[in-house]
């Protein structure tokens, strides 16, 4: 499974932690590559291009709160980015929303929880339920 991962300076450390903890994943790291200040919309744009061109199965985005970078990602057609804040949300957003980007807030979540939520997200399939397919289609 190929996962594209991106973070601003606020999420840089958590990005490195995830790559190190989950070495079984085939990561494509699109930056940022230091704690020097950078702009989360540009990171989101870069990650979205990778997902929408089919170069990765899922994306992971991280900023300080997870909010700015999810707002930026969700402006793009084809992207369903969800901030994961418990295991139920991590599974439901896959089952119901077919979310394709997991978002985390490095300053608001523990690393251990992030690891657990990511695992649920990556192992839960979309339900393919008729009402869920319809609602996703209605997103445009």
Q: Give me the helix-helix angle, 67-74 and 40-52, nearest 10°.
A: 40
Q: Is 64 in the site for ligand RB5 (CB under 6 A)?
A: yes
Concerning whether 96 is annotated as a catalytic residue, the answer is: yes
The DSSP annotation for 77-135 comes to TT--EEE--SHHHHHHHHHTT---EEEEETTTS-HHHHHHHHHHHHH------HHHHHH
Q: Is 58 in the site for ligand RB5 (CB under 6 A)?
A: no
Q: Is 6 in the site for ligand RB5 (CB under 6 A)?
A: no
The answer for residues whose C-beta is within 8 angstroms of residue 127's C-beta and 6 or more apart is 95, 96
The residue range among 47-55, 59-67, 75-83, 123-131 that interacts with ligand RB5, by the rule CB under 6 A, is 59-67
CB of 8 to ligand RB5, least distance (A): 5
In the bound state with ligand RB5, the residue whose beta carbon lies nearer, of 59 and 68, is: 68
CB of 31 to ligand RB5, least distance (A): 14
Q: What does the binding site for ligand RB5 look like in residue numbers (CB under 6 A)?
A: 8, 10, 40, 63-65, 67-68
């Amino acid at each position: 499974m190929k996962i594209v991962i991106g973070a601003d300076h606020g999420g840089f450390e958590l990005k490195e932690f995830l790559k190190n903890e989950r070495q079984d994943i085939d990561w494509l790291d699109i930056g940022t590559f230091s704690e020097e200040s950078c702009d989360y919309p540009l990171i989101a744009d870069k990650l979205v291009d990778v997902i929408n061109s089919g170069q990765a199965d899922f994306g992971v985005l991280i900023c300080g709160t997870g909010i700015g970078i999810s707002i930026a990602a969700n402006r793009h057609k084809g992207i369903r980015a969800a901030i994961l804040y418990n295991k139920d949300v991590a599974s439901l957003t896959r089952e119901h929303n077919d979310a394709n980007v997991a978002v985390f807030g490095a300053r608001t979540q523990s690393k251990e929880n992030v690891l657990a939520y990511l695992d649920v997200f990556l192992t839960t399939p979309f339900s393919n339920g008729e009402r869920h397919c319809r609602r996703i289609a209605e997103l445009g």
